[in-house]
Amino acid sequence: MGLNFDINFMFTAMQQAIKYSWVTMLLAVVPFVSGITLGTVIALIRIYNVRILGRLLQLYIVITKGTPVMLQILIIYFAVIQGFDLFAQGVNLSIRSKDINLIYIAFAALAFFGTANISESIRGALAAVDCGQYEAAYSVGLTRQQALRRIILPQALPVALPMLCSNLIGLVKASSLVFMISVTDLMNAALIPANTNYKYLEAYIAAAIVYWIINIVIEKISFLLERRLDARKREVLV
């Protein structure tokens, strides 16, 4: 039995995968955007060492970085499902957990995971800005907010970009785990046709190629953005 690779089937599977690739993109981008917003706030809280909140958030980050994404997704899923049922029973709501669109749970779980990593990237980028910049900004009378907005964040951005790109790619890859909670994303979609003819290899390779293309595009965009930022920085110097 040689290597009978059914290229045609691979393309069929790829078509299915591409049809659902918007789900994957959504599962990556929504947590990414919410991650950047929340993450910046978290990073700032940690940098300025806000008393209790800072410690709590540090705990959050340790937990997220110390447990697998898979478990985070599953725990949040079961916690929400069981919790919701209890809540609904207690408050006498007519809907049950099975009526919730599972994709929202997926968003929540991936956002939980993603925000921690993104906030660490942002914190790293902010830390990379020479602390003399902060001091200079304060000494000319800028408020903390002004200093951040006008001096620090613009300098942190080029440093943050590559790390954020890598975070986004990580989210795209993590989104492949939602098959565990019955959400149909591009990987599931590629596998559906394979359930009848057992040509799983072709289906997985089809999914791999689609993921690969998505991530290459993200890298390219990040690269172009980095170049533009760099060019603009040089213009200013001249």
Partner 1 sequence: MGEFFDARLVCEYFPQLLSRLPITLLLVAAATVIGLAVGTVLALFRLYKIPVFNQVAIFYISFMRGTPILVQMFVIYYGLPAVLMTIGININRWDRLIFVILTYGLNLGAFLAEIIRAAVAGVPVGQTEAAYSVGMTRMQTFFRIVAPQALLAAMPSMGINIVGLLQDSSIAFALGIIDVMGKARSIGASTYHTLEAYVGAAIIFLVISLLLEKGCSIIEKRLSMKIIGDRG
The footprint of partner 1 (CB under 8 A) covers 1-3, 5, 62-63, 65-72, 74-75, 78-79, 82-83, 86, 169, 172-174, 176-177, 187, 200-201, 204-205, 207-208, 211-212, 215-216, 219
Least CB distance to partner 1 at residue 138 (A)? 28
Least CB distance to partner 1 at residue 25 (A)? 14
Q: How far apart are CA 173 and CA 158, in angstroms?
A: 24
Least CB distance to partner 1 at residue 117 (A)? 11
Least CB distance to partner 1 at residue 95 (A)? 18
What's 192's DSSP letter? T
**Residue closest to 37 by CA, chosen among 111, 98, 94, 101:** 111
Q: How far apart are CA 57 and CA 151, in angstroms?
A: 26
**Residue closest to 110 by CA, chosen among 56, 166, 34, 48:** 34
Query: Cβ closer to partner 1: 62 or 136?
Result: 62
Least CB distance to partner 1 at residue 186 (A)? 10
Query: Cβ closer to partner 1: 1 or 140?
Result: 1
- List CB contacts of 59: < 8 A, sequence separation 6 or more: none
Least CB distance to partner 1 at residue 137 (A)? 28
Q: How far apart are CA 61 and CA 75, in angstroms?
A: 16
List b or e across 41-50, with b for residues whose CB sees 16 or more CB atoms inside 10 angstroms.
ebbbbbbeee
Query: Cβ closer to partner 1: 147 or 159?
Result: 159
Query: Cβ closer to partner 1: 42 or 191?
Result: 191
What's 131's DSSP letter? H
Query: Cβ closer to partner 1: 76 or 152?
Result: 76
Query: Cβ closer to partner 1: 54 or 124?
Result: 124
- List CB contacts of 189: < 8 A, sequence separation 6 or more: 16, 17, 19, 20
CB burial class (10 A; 0-12, 13-18, 19+) of residue 26?
middle
